[in-house]
Amino acid sequence: MITIAIANQKGGVGKTTTAINLATGMAAIGWRVLLIDIDPQGNASTGLGIAQSAREHSSYQVLTGDASILSSAQPSAVPRLDIVAATVDLSGAEIELVDFDKRTHRLEMAIERVPPGRWDICLIDCPPSLGLLTMNALVAADSLIVPLQCEFFALEGLSQLLRTVERIRDKFNPGLSILGVALTMYDRRNNLTNQVSDDVRACLGKVVFDTVIPRNVRLSEAPSHGLPALIYDHRCSGSAAYMQLAREVIGRLPTRRQAA
Interaction site with ligand ADP (CB under 6 A): 11-17, 43, 128, 184-185, 213, 215-216, 219-220, 223, 238
Q: Least distance to Mg ion from the beta carbon of 217, Å?
A: 18
Q: Least distance to ligand ADP from the beta carbon of 143, Å?
A: 18
Nearer Cβ to ligand ADP, position 67 or 183? 183
Interacting partner of 160 out of ligand ADP, Mg ion, none (Cβ under 5 to 8 A depending on kind): none
Site for Mg ion in 189-208 (CB under 5 A): none
Could you please report the per-residue DSSP string of the chain? Answer: -EEEEE--SSTTSSHHHHHHHHHHHHHHHT--EEEEE--TT-HHHHHTT--GGG-SS-HHHHHHTSS-HHHH-EE-SSTTEEEE---GGGGGHHHHGGGSTTTTSHHHHHHHTSPTTS-SEEEEE--SSSSHHHHHHHHH-SEEEEEEESSTTTTTTHHHHHHHHHHHHHHT-TT-EEEEEEEEEE-TT-HHHHHHHHHHHHHHGGGEEEEEEEP-HHHHHGGGGTS-HHHH-TTSHHHHHHHHHHHHHHHH-SSPPPP-
Nearer Cβ to ligand ADP, position 14 or 228? 14
Among 5, 7, 8, 15, binds Mg ion (CB under 5 A): 15
Which range of residues in 16-24, 156-164, 182-190, 220-228 is near Mg ion by CB under 5 A? 16-24
Nearer Cβ to ligand ADP, position 128 or 226? 128
Interacting partner of 216 out of ligand ADP, Mg ion, none (Cβ under 5 to 8 A depending on kind): ligand ADP
Sign of CA dihedral 129, 133, 136, 142: negative
Interacting partner of 75 out of Mg ion, ligand ADP, none (Cβ under 5 to 8 A depending on kind): none
Nearer Cβ to Mg ion, position 10 or 80? 10
Among 9, 16, 18, 61, binds Mg ion (CB under 5 A): 16
Which residues contact Mg ion by CB under 5 A? 15-16, 43
